[in-house]
Amino acid sequence: MENIWLFGYGSLIWNPDIPYIDSSAARLDGFVRRFWQGSHDHRGTPKKPGRVVTLVPSEQGHCNGIAYLISKKNANKVFQQLDHREKNGYEKLSINLSLLNDISKTGISYIAKETNQAFLGSASIQSIAAQIISCSGPSGENKDYLFELANSLREYNFIDEHVFELESLVKKLDRTS
Ligand code: BEZ
C-alpha cells in the first residue's frame, strides 16, 4: 500500500485517534452528511439505537470534513483499527476528494449504505432530534456526538445545515427536559 488519504466527516474530525503524517480540510462532492445510521455499539444500544452520520449520495451536494494522510507503513494497521471501530454497518468507499486550494486526491472514506442492517434512513428532523436526545451507549451520550460534530464543523468554518438544525433542536429539547 502507498500513503493514502482518509476522509473523515464524523467522529474522525474531533477524535481521529490514528497516526497520520498530514491533514487538511477537505471537501467530498456528490455526498451529503446525514444522521441516518443507527448506532447500536457507540451512541446507543441494540434495544435503543442512537443515530450517527453516514454519507448519502447527492448529485449537487457536498460534505466538508478532514482528510488525513496515512503513511503506507501504518495503512494496514489503521484500516484494521477503523474496520473494527466502525464495524456496525460501515464499509470502505474509494473517493475523489478536494483538499484546500482545490487540490484533488484519491482516497478512502467509510459509508454506511442503506442496505446495512443498522441503517435507519430519513426521518423528520424533530424525530431524529428526539431520538438523539434520548440515546446513549458505550462511547457516551448521542447528543454529545452531535455537539462535538457541530462544534468541530464551526471551528473549521464548515456549514452543514442538517447538523446545525439538529444541534439547535436538541439544545432546545435539552433545556426543556
Ligand atoms: C468518520 O468520522 O468519517 C467516520 C464515520 C463513519 C465511519 C468511519 C469514519
**DSSP-derived secondary structure for 54-65:** EEEEEEEEEEEE
- pLDDT the model gives residue 1: 67
Q: Cell 452520520 sits at which residue?
A: 53
Q: Say which amino acid occupies 137.
A: G
Residue 50: CA count within 13 A, CB half-sphere:
23
Note the pLDDT of residue 84. 86
The closest-lying atom of ligand 1 relative to the alpha carbon of residue 9 is 3
Query: What is the residue whose three cell numbers read 446513549?
Result: 136
E strand segments, 14-89: 22-39, 50-70
Q: Regarding beta strands 4-8 and 50-70, do their DSSP bridges make them parallel or antiparallel, or are they unpaired?
A: antiparallel
Which domain does 63 fall in, by range? Answer: 4-176
Q: pLDDT at position 85, please?
A: 75
Alpha carbon distances (Å) from 20 to 48, 75, 104, 159: 34, 9, 19, 25
CA of 176 to the centre of ligand 1 (A): 31
Ligand 1 pocket residue status of 10, Cβ below 6 Å: yes
* DSSP-derived 3-state class of residue 31: strand
**Pocket flag, ligand 1, residue 63 (CB < 6 Å):** no
> What would the grid cell of residue 163 be?
447538523
Distance of CA 131 to CAs 52, 119, 123, 159, 177, Å?
Answer: 11, 14, 10, 23, 14
CATH classification at residue 134 = 3.10.490.10
- If one counts every other C-beta atom within 10 angstroms of the C-beta of residue 32, the result is 19
List the one residue out of 130, 5, 142, 141 whose CA is nearest residue 66.
5
Catalytic pick from 2, 86, 155, 165? 86
pLDDT at residue number 17: 92
8 lines ligand 1 (CB under 6 A): yes
Pocket lining: 12 vs ligand 1, CB cutoff 6 Å:
yes
pTM of the model: 0.95
For the chain, how many structural domains are there in total?
A: 1
Closest alpha carbon to 7 in 94, 81, 121: 94
Return per-residue pLDDT of the chain as tens, 177 residues. Answer: 689 999 999 999 999 999 999 999 999 999 999 999 999 999 999 999 999 999 999 999 999 999 999 999 999 999 999 998 777 899 999 999 999 888 999 999 999 999 999 999 999 999 999 999 999 999 999 999 999 999 999 999 999 999 999 999 999 999 987
Q: Can 91 be counted among the known catalytic residues?
A: no
Nearest CA to ligand 1 atom 4: 10
